[in-house]
Structure 1
Amino acid sequence: MDENTENLGLLPLNNWHIARGGRMVPFAGYSMPVQYEGIMAEHLWVRENAGLFDVSHMGQLQLSGPDVAAKLEAILPGDISALKAGKMRYSLLLNNDGGILDDLMVTNTGHNLYMVVNGAVKHGDIAYLRKKLPEDIKINHMTDAALLALQGPKAAAAIEKLGIMPLQPDWPQVTDLYFMDAAPFMWNGVALGISRSGYTGEDGFEISIPAEHAMEFADALCALDEVKPIGLGARDSLRLEAGLPLYGHDMNPEILPVSADLSFAISKKRREEGGFSGAEKILNELENGPVKKRVGLSIDGRQPVREGAVVVNGNGAIIGNVTSGGFSPSLGRPIAMAYVPTELAVEGQEIILEQRGKKIPATITKMPFVPQNYHRAPRGVSK
């Protein structure tokens, strides 16, 4: 750890990670485990079994007050008012010019809105929300709650073994949740908020739990044969394979949602009505197309291409930039994401990257790089 670690925040499970061999590094203002036994092994474990991630650095917020959903829509481009109780939605926090301040998840709990924002910018997000929302909307930053993510094809089988119960007898069991469902549960007398969601492309759950009970819950999960603790390194390689953008890398306040290939976050109703931050610019990009677009890249050779590499044309002029990249453990080859001129954003298009003076051929490819394995509701089931 570097000399600045004394200023870092500590996760509720900090000592737990160290005791289990976690190599701690600074991330988003916290000391966090980057790996335990190795990024490659941990990545492949999650693809085949179930991994437990500590994402307690994220900002967990509760928003409440009269017409809170409608008032939040003045900022977010999603149709929050139509969100049914127990359902969640991916959305974006936008500035007045339509640039992305953060990406986030919003859940209608039935009595308030629960929002998860990125850890590195959570305090800025809270300040922005307080500035933009009316005074009658209360924002509770849940600083006394931990957030854990159980991810992988055996996540459901693992979490079922813990005896987690719904708050009401007629409410769904935790394994009855579909992707983007959420509900309150109880475990050993402890209240949990659980959603079927995650950031790996695999099936899984995110669990909000009082920080004082997080260690006991993590111990119970990791006592199961199918579960191991997983660090930040594998979380990043998993999300890259899933084609999921990372805020501060693939998104920033200069990038609009259409350019970031996140148009799906702008609901049909909001496209028709507007009325959200940056609507004019964003709706113009939807109609006329962006100047550049986020794409997936298959890299020739074995050398990974990292953030900071550039896309060049035949004359060597810079025309784009790589925002995420690395070696894909699942595919056994390097992959990346980049912004390129929209006219080049075509599957199969060959381009040239430049990294440390070396030119590297690449091909634009469809994302996700590895098929997603979400537990989606069957056709005909109400969402």
Structure 2
Amino acid sequence: MKKLIKTVGMLMSLFLLTSVLVSADNATDSKFDASIVKSDKERGDTSRAWYDLKLNPGEKTTLAVSLTNRDTKPATFLISATQAETGSNMVMSANRPINEVQDAVNSSLRLGNSILKVSSAKVTVAAGETREIPAQVTMPSTKIDGSWLGGIHIQKQVASSDQAQNGYTNRFNYMTYVQLSNTDVVTKADLDLKKVSYQSKSQSGIVNIALQNKQNGYVSNASSTVKVHQKGESATVVNDVQSNQSIANGSNFTYQVPTKELKSGKTYVADITIHDNKNNVTWHWTKEFKVSSLSAVSGWLSSNPMTRNNNWLWLLLLIPLLIILFFLWRKQKKMVDVVENLQGKQINRRISYKAYKQMRREGMDVVIVSKSNQESR
């Protein structure tokens, strides 16, 4: 699905943010405009196009987004209150409804819709009409350590008549950030490394770096370097360098670094550095992790059936077949003691099992002498 919105960039670049509505296709018009209605609770720079509010514990206020439908027909919009989180690429966003994000933030920020709530999940705006879309803020009765960060997200509902015949539908979204705090003091982020693990992905892999921002402050402009080498060896097998990253307030997330396929059953060492460029703070960790002996199998199972490499599977299936053939061959080469009845006479002989089977197929009266019978003679 095409994204025709450029949702306000990486949060905070956050504090240079402007809430905007931009089409990825210059020939396509969203046919609506949106902007925030200024609040008297603004903290600091009131020229921002997003909300940065200072309120007392338990205080309430109402925010509003001015929404204009420039279309010649009525338009319906989906409205949601969202909360900031950090994605697997270590870039924060606030596109998901608050209740869907609670597991991804520290317990002190799990406030649900009680802190930010929209009045209606869906509104219809007449052609040429401008409406204010309200949202209620209710601060917790106890002081917030740091700040809470979320947003107001608006998506234009696409009519069935506007849906593209090729299966791709243009969609337009608007999102403005809402930061809420009880103080003017800025809380800095503090990162903690929880775990490093490896995930196989069909001839490639992912190093999963589980992190927690212990503080309810954000990182607006981060850079990172991840190097990986096999334990006991000096050669670097992963050297990933990224910039323009960001981390949401009090977020728990897994930063995923793509790699080539690592060796099953081996132990590796991850050297991780993250730098907060704005506050000049650096975090550095060195952590061992082991690649499971079954990683190749799990990676194959999780890969696309249309593109996965099945060569190793055929080899795996061939092994038991070769074992069976070996035992059959060995059985054929095995020597056995038999008794042959020939014109009323019993003749004892030692022959190959293959010869015995051939004699049986030819209808000859021959039997294998059991071990017990041999011992009794």
TM-score band by shorter chain is under 0.3
- Greater relative contact order, per chain length (Cα 8 Å cut-off, separation 6+): 1
**Structure 1 or 2: larger strand share?**
2
Q: What TM-score does the superposition give when structure 1 sets the normalisation length? A: 0.27
Q: Normalising by structure 2, what TM-score?
A: 0.28
Higher Rg = 2
| Higher-helix-fraction structure | 1
